[in-house]
Amino acid sequence: MSTKAADLRGELSALKIDRTKARQTSWSMRLVGLLLLLALLAAFGGGAYWALQDRLFPVPVVKLELVRIMTLGQASAQLTATGYLESRWQAAVGAKVPGRIANIPVEEGTKVKAGDLLAELEHSDLDAALASRKVAVTLAKAQVSEAQFTLAQAERNLAREQQLLERNAGTLEAVEQAETAFRVAQSTEEARIAALDAAKSNVIEAEEAIKNMFIYAPFDGTVVTKDAEQGESIMPGGMGASSGRGSVITLARLDELEVDTDVKEDYLSQLRKGQPTQVVVDAVPNHRYQGRLREIIPMGDRTRGIVKVKVTILDPDERLFPELSATVLFLPDAKEPNQAQEKGVFVPVAAVQGTDKEKFVWLYEQDHVRKLALATEGESHDGLIAIRGGLAGGERVVVNPPPISKRATRSSCRNRIAAREKREIGETYLGWSPTE
């Protein structure tokens, strides 16, 4: 029994816990936890640092503007106004009398000469009336001829009776009767001639009425609209379907176009007759037409505070026609057409930095702002100046950039669009952190 007790005591002693291994495991877990805590504190502290730094030392916010491609005329414009094209010679052509349209031989876009036929109204009833009146003229002519024969016979009878009376072979009564017949024949002839003239006038009246059934072009031009179609009734001064159309064709001279535009009273002092302009038509965006201020209409609109202005286009082409939207650029002085049409690259004057010898701009691209050297040429116009080299148009540059600080240099790796991205419509701001 003693031997078995000794063996059991040995086995129980072998089952005791190793306190050294537990102590080692506890210290490793504590070390890992400590490292995690330090990492969390570092991340929180770094975020708090940058947040506090942005609050105490905010990154300046600046404005960007586009580099523009434009003509010298656009850049030097004193004033801009919008309006619509119209022909200086334009007419809604209709008939003098009411009627129904029988034929319209022209279409929109047809070029016509003065006197060309534009439309024809139905006139079969007038044709019949004309034929009847021509017959009346023929009858009147025959009656005149009859009256002339009667007058000639009466004249011979009177002469014969007078000769008989002189030879004492006739009587005074016979002479008086012959003289009366002669006078009646004279009056009948005069009446027949008057009736013939009246019949001829009736024919002329019918012919003129038929002529009024034909509508002719009053001047050389182009048909811009057909205001009626075959079979429709027209009426001079018609104001709608209930009274009939008032015109058939709208005719205009497209080689004499002008812009009808309005200018605020405040800017009227900047305008004068004959002032050179450029006209930009929305339908022809890649071309600039030369113009001249033809007339300042001497009548204001007190409700809107505007004055109407007419600008003649000096070089119109087939791409222009009435009612197109147009923008007029009023130039300060006479420019050569070719010079005013030349395109160039323009940047805001406020974006150009440096001295006359070394000028540069801050160019924003791919979330970075970098310094770009360039050269300017000519004088500035309306806050823009032409440049040579470096920019092709469409880029964005910083306007009125603030001074570069150490804070901005240290933050150069953090170029970003600011949260306050759009304070005003069309304006973009970014964190100011340039790189040379």
Alpha-carbon torsion, ordered 165, 168, 171, 172, to 10 deg = 50
Q: Which among 418, 422, 313 is positioned nearest to 58, based on CA atoms?
A: 418
Residue 38: the pLDDT is 74
Residue 359: the pLDDT is 78
- What fold does the segment set 61-74+342-431 form as a domain? 2.40.420
Q: Which among 290, 307, 244, 321 is positioned nearest to 84, based on CA atoms?
A: 321
Task: Compute the C-alpha angle 287/77/69, nearest 5°.
Answer: 50
Residue 348: the pLDDT is 78
Q: Which among 294, 334, 250 is positioned nearest to 83, based on CA atoms?
A: 294
Q: Around Cβ 321, how many Cβ atoms within 10 Å?
A: 18
Residue 104: the pLDDT is 92
Alpha carbons 65 and 171: distance in angstroms, whole number: 124
Q: Around Cβ 347, how many Cβ atoms within 10 Å?
A: 25
pLDDT average per 10 residues of sequence, the chain (436 residues): 60 56 58 72 62 55 67 60 89 88 90 91 92 93 92 90 85 89 92 94 93 91 88 71 68 89 86 88 86 90 88 89 88 56 68 75 74 70 68 74 54 38 36 49
Residue 237: the pLDDT is 63
Span 133-168, pLDDT tens digits: 999 999 999 999 999 999 999 999 889 888 888 888
Q: Around Cβ 273, how many Cβ atoms within 10 Å?
A: 9
3-state secondary structure of 377: strand
- Judge if pTM exceeds 0.85: no
Q: Which among 336, 328, 332 is positioned nearest to 312, based on CA atoms?
A: 328
Residue 418: the pLDDT is 38
- Structure token pair of residue 206: 């019918």
Residue 17: the pLDDT is 54
CATH for 129-196 is 1.10.287
Q: Which among 228, 149, 133 is positioned nearest to 192, based on CA atoms?
A: 149
> Helix (H) and strand (E) counts for the chain?
7, 23
Alpha helices in 167-225 (DSSP H): 172-211
Domain ranges in the chain are: 61-74+342-431, 77-88+255-334, 91-122+213-252, 129-196
Look-up: residue for tokens 């609109």? Answer: 301
**Is the CATH code 2.40.50.100 the one for domain 91-122+213-252?**
yes
- What fold does the segment set 77-88+255-334 form as a domain? Elongation Factor Tu (Ef-tu); domain 3 (2.40.30)
Span 169-220, pLDDT tens digits: 878 888 889 899 989 999 999 999 999 999 999 999 999 999 999 999 998 9
